[in-house]
Amino acid sequence: MAFGSYRAFVEKLDQMGELIRFRQPVATELEITEIADREMKKPGGGKALLFEKPTIQGKVSPFPVAINTMGSDRRMALSMGAESVESVAEDLGMLMKAKPPTSWRGAAKLLATAMDLRHVRPRKVKKGPCKQVIHRFDSPPTR
């Protein structure tokens, strides 16, 4: 896997100068979308945007908003730990077109390709930031 978390990916974008941070409150109602629209229409897809204090109906949300983080070929390739998007597409294409190997050499080559792509599959975790607050609801009363 190229990055251990989405946060690590966003931090890397910041280090590379590929991220614009908005530290002041910005309204989710029309303001963020207008800023994002203007940035994404720039040549090359513009830069990634991180709104640290988005507001919802005038109140600051505890959740930051990241937009356009994979809006360029360079950032897309970076997210997958590759040199280019084309190289990833080529690897996936080879895997999709793979036929059952007819020799040991063919089996070894197919296994090597599969090992290179093992980071692609999803990971299950027991604990994580997304599980810090869990709301449980009682089922509605039956009549």
pLDDT computed for residue 133 by the predictor:
74
Cα gap 42→32, rounded to integer Å: 16
Residue range 79-111, pLDDT digits in tens: 888 888 888 788 777 777 777 878 888 888 878
For the chain, what are the domain ranges? 1-81, 84-120
Considering the entire predicted model, what is its pTM?
0.68
What is the distance, to the nearest Å, from the Cα of residue 123 to the centroid of all Cα atoms in its chain? 14
